[in-house]
Amino acid sequence: MASKPLLLQLYTGALGMFGPMGAGWLLKWRARQGKEMTTRIGERRGRPSRLRPEGILIWVHSASVGEFLSVLPLIEILTERGFNILSTTGTLTSARLAAVRLPPEAVHQFVPLDIPLYVRRFFNHWQPNLAIFTESEIWPNLFAEAESRSVPTVIANARMSPRSFGRWSRLGGVSRAVLKDIDLCLAQSDTDSRRLAALGAPRVETAGNLKFDVPAPPVPQDILARFESAVFDRPVFLAASTHSGEDEMIMRVHARLKHRMRGLLTIIVPRHPERAGEILQAADELGLDVSTRMRETYPDRNDDIFVVDTIGELGLFYRLAHVAFVGGSLVERGGQNPIEPAKIGIPILHGPHVANFAEVYAALDDAQGALEITDHETFTIAVSGLLNDKATRAMMRRAAHEVVERNSGALERTLAAIEPYLMQLSFTRH
């Protein structure tokens, strides 16, 4: 067997020797920043907080909210088929969502840091029979440990952005040494397939994007009715999953339009709810009236800005709005998922930085189901134009819906691809 590339040996060796000490500092810092759940921080060190269920266990890992939601239908199907599920994620928001949305039989844990000691602890306790990672989660020590224990590993909904592809390509044989431990990569697109194969993944298939098959999020009708009553006939602009650097432009668009668009309400749903405080401060500096979901519950008639500082309610506000901007796209964060608003049926605006969903945005833009804005001027024109043009909004809704329908089927193809592994597990179980 060929030896590991030197860079990979250094990565594993350094984390083996100094990782636990460095992790202590890292986890304390993240806890102070509100990015770790202090009562469960041991899980990040591979120490379980739950018992392992008896029998066959499938481990499904997703990084954060978007990845978790994309793989949730797969988890539900596997649970219905009688498999035990361990779901791991890496963020507080995804953990809180998992607590609400996972099937009752499934177990959630925070994924351990990619430190050999923590990884071994994790595997010693959970002893998964199959590991399914999602999207671009590539962790050398987790992969190597799974391979050493003969645990088949699949990457579902796999993607490889141009930036990540460039980074991995510059590492020489490292990517090939890491990806050789993956039994199957199920890529979102042919472009992702080619990139993963070029980096050394031994078996790659294109299955499509699981996000197209995620149902529109459920919304309690009584809460929706209360919001509709509070908003009444006001034009509503939604800025969803925003990142730092986007909110001020959104509020400046509102300030420019409020005097010529009677009753305009702008709803901001930050990607990370803990950022609500800085949004409130920015709104105050612009002289805008602002309230929050946690504090006031519903927008007041005089509110300019309503900040949603809760988790898992985007579906509610997509249904309430007339136009939506999808964030992470005016700043270089790669863009957030536009499929959910497309399914719900709302005209979509986005910035130019959409590498995380490049092909999805391209399909929506080409079909005129979404519109790219680049600066304050184009942003203001687009929001104003769409809020005043019901016919164009209806056309964009239809176009987006057609794109979603045309690209569905990834869940079925993913299940078909992993069926041999599931059959083997079923045979073992019986």
Measured in whole angstroms, the distance separating CA 199 from the mean position of its chain's CA atoms is 24
Residue 242, classed as helix, strand or coil, is: strand
Tokens at 413, concatenated? 């193809």
In the residue annotation, 67 being an active-site residue is answered as yes
Tell me, letter by letter, the H, E, C secondary structure of the chain.
CCCCCHHHHHHHHHHHHHHHHHHHHHHHHHHHCCCCCHHHHHHHHCCCCCCCCCCCEEEEECCCHHHHHHHHHHHHHHHHCCCEEEEEECCHHHHHHHHHHCCCCCEEEECCCCCHHHHHHHHHHHCCCEEEEECCCCCHHHHHHHHHCCCCEEEEEECCCHHHHHHHHCCCCHHHHHHCCCCEEEECCHHHHHHHHHCCCCCEEECCCHHHHCCCCCCCHHHHHHHHHHHCCCCEEEEEEECCCCHHHHHHHHHHHCCCCCCCEEEEEECCHHHHHHHHHHHHHCCCCEEEHHHHCCCCCCCCEEECCCCCCHHHHHHHCCEEEECCCCCCCCCCCCHHHHHHCCCEEECCCCHHHHHHHHHHHHCCCEEECCCHHHHHHHHHHHHCCHHHHHHHHHHHHHHHHHCCCHHHHHHHHHHHHHHHHHHHHC
3-class state of residue 18 by DSSP? helix
Q: For residues 192 and 208, what is the distance between their CA atoms, to the nearest angstrom?
A: 10
| CA-based torsion, 394, 266, 355, 206: positive or negative | negative
Structure tokens that stand for 29 in this block = 């810092």
Catalytic, out of 43, 67, 135, 145? 67
Active site residues: 67
